[in-house]
Every structure is written in structure tokens, then in C-alpha cells.
Amino acid sequence: MSAGGSGEAKSSYPPQTTIGLGVVGGLLGIYAGGLLAPSIPELSFIGGIGAICAAIWGADAVRRVASYGLGTGVPSIGLLALGMGIVAALFGLSIGGIAGPIVAFIVACVIGVVIGALANRVIGMGIPVMEQTMTEIAGSGTLLILGLSVAIAGTFDYNVVVESVVKTGFIALIYIAGGMALLHPFNANLGADESQDRTLTCAFEKGAVSMVVAGIASAAGVGIGPAIVTVIIGTVLWYIGFTKYYALVKRDAYAVVGTGLLPSAEELQ
């Protein structure tokens, strides 16, 4: 259970599990997608899978910090994550070369820990997990952006990413779709009956939606064929995520009842 302002969130999966999933899955997806797609463009979708792993991790970090109550709504922290992430991602790719995604990830963690420390020490938010979660949120935001960028551009080469993701404006799409995958799950599920598996399933489903969006955008980057592959895989993952999510909603709800159709004018007489 976890509601905003209720203190530490109870978790069935410990933070280490989601951190491991996010870091390993995210980086693997980015590297596998970015290194394989130049020769086999259809494999660019792996970047999207990496983004989904990062989204699950990020949503879990948002869940842990936002359950203390941020005072300003959950969405703010998602937008902050992507703000830090976009700066770190482009920086990492620009100087890192093959190590780009790792450099981006480390820079994001540094920016995250500094902002977390500022929020706690200077602004005085007094959330015990602030530094750690802010680091995680910045890191997962960066991996999310990089994963979706790989899905669109088919590589993590700085100049190609700038050409086919930033210049085309798809970066704004990534910003909002990716931010939604981070901030929406806890925002939609918070309350007295919040449970971690339901929130994280929602993150999985939102990550798949952002993968579909990136797939559509990738038609202009890697080409129509790979775009169709990404969209189809994303849609399948979304369907799996959504049915699972709906099952968990039914599990956690007291009752799910149909309201029927609106009564007609005669019936209201």
C-alpha cells in the first residue's frame, strides 16, 4: 500500500531487483539495438525493449520517492527526470563514442545525485530516499531516452541521432511518451490500495506504448520495414501488459461491475 504522503512505500520486489532490471536490461537493449541494427535494421526494436526495462525501473523509483508526498504532484518528477535525461543523453553520445550510453548514464547519475542532495539539503524536502531515488530517476530517464532513440535511429551514433531524432523533432515525442511511462504509473495507481506489481505492470504497458510511438517515428529513421517490426512487437507487448494490468485491477478492486447503458428517455419517466 502506498499513498502520497504516507511515508515509505511497501514493496514486494526490493529496489535492487528493479535497479538491476533497469540498468542491465536498459544498457543491454541500447547496446544490442545500437550495435546490431546498423547491419540488420529490423533489430532496432531491441532499443525499445531496453526502454521498457528502464521505464519499469524509473516508475519504481518514482513510486518510492513520491509515496512520501512531493507536495507538487507526481508528474513534476517525471518531467525533471527527462529534463536531466535529455541533457545527459546527448552529452554522453557526443563524447562517448562506443561508450556513449554508459557515459550518459554516469553523467545522469551525477546530475541526479546533485539535484537530489540540493532538494534535501538546500530546499529541505526531508525525504530520506531523495538522493538515491533522484539518481535512479535521472539514470532511468536517460536510458529511456537512449533506448527510444536507438529504436528510432537504429544506432547511438551522435550525429545520426541528432539528424534523425533531434532535428526531426521526434525528441519531443520521446520526451512526453517517455515521461508518461515514468510518471503515469504511480500517478494513476496511488492511493490506499496501491500495490507494486500493479504499478509496475502499468509502467510496462506505458513503456510498450512509447515503444509503439517510437516505432511509428522510426519509419523516417531506420525505414518502413524495421518500423513495422517495432510497432508490431510494441503492440503485442502492450496487449500483454494491458491484459495483465486489467487482471490486477480486478484482483485489487472490491468489485468490478458494469453500469449498463444509459437509460432511455422513457425509462426515466
The yes or no reply on residue 176 touching another protein (CB under 8 A) is: no
Q: In terms of CB distance, is 110 or 228 closer to another protein?
A: 110
Q: Is 35 among the residues that bind another protein (CB under 8 A)?
A: no
Selected from 54, 55, 109, 111, the binder of another protein by CB under 8 A is 111
Q: Which of 30, 90, 143, 222 lies at the binding interface for another protein (CB under 8 A)?
A: 90
CB of 117 to another protein, least distance (A): 9
Choosing from 45, 57, 156, 175, the residue that interacts with another protein (CB under 8 A) is 175
Stretch binding another protein (CB under 8 A), from 32-40, 44-52, 60-68, 163-171: 163-171
Question: Is residue 28 within the footprint of another protein (CB under 8 A)?
Answer: no
What is the spatial distance between Cα 26 and Cα 182, in angstroms, rounded to a whole number? 14
Name the β-bridge partners of 191: 2
Q: Which of 206, 220, 205, 153 lies closest to 178 in space, CA to CA?
A: 206
Question: 240: Cβ–Cβ under 8 A, 6 or more apart, which residues?
Answer: 208
When asked if residue 30 is in the footprint of another protein (CB under 8 A), the reply is no
107 near another protein, rule: CB under 8 A: yes
Q: Are 104 and 91 in contact (CB under 8 A)?
A: yes
Listed in sequence order, the residues at least 6 apart from 31 whose beta carbon sits closer than 8 Å to its beta carbon are: 101
Give the 3-state secondary structure of residue 5. coil
Bridge partners (DSSP) listed for residue 2: 191
- Number of residues in contact with another protein under rule CB under 8 A: 42
| Residue type, position 240, single letter | I
8-state DSSP, 85: H
What secondary structure does DSSP assign to 131-167, as a single string?
Answer: HHHHHHHHHHHHHHHHHHHHHHHSS--HHHHIIIIIT
Looking at 159, 225, 246, 247, which residue binds another protein (CB under 8 A)?
159
Residue 123 interacts with another protein (CB under 8 A): yes or no: yes
User: Of these, 36, 75, 197, 240, which contacts another protein (CB under 8 A)?
Assistant: 75
Task: Report the C-alpha gap between 237 and 152 in whole angstroms.
Answer: 18
Sole window of 27-35, 159-167, 185-193, 212-220 interacting with another protein (rule: CB under 8 A): 159-167
- Options 12, 16, 39, 124; binder of another protein; rule CB under 8 A: 124
Distance spanning both ends of the chain, measured CA to CA: 44
Residue ranges binding another protein (CB under 8 A): 70-73, 75-77, 79-80, 82-88, 90-91, 93-95, 107, 110-111, 114-115, 118-119, 122-125, 158-159, 162-163, 166-167, 169, 171-172, 175
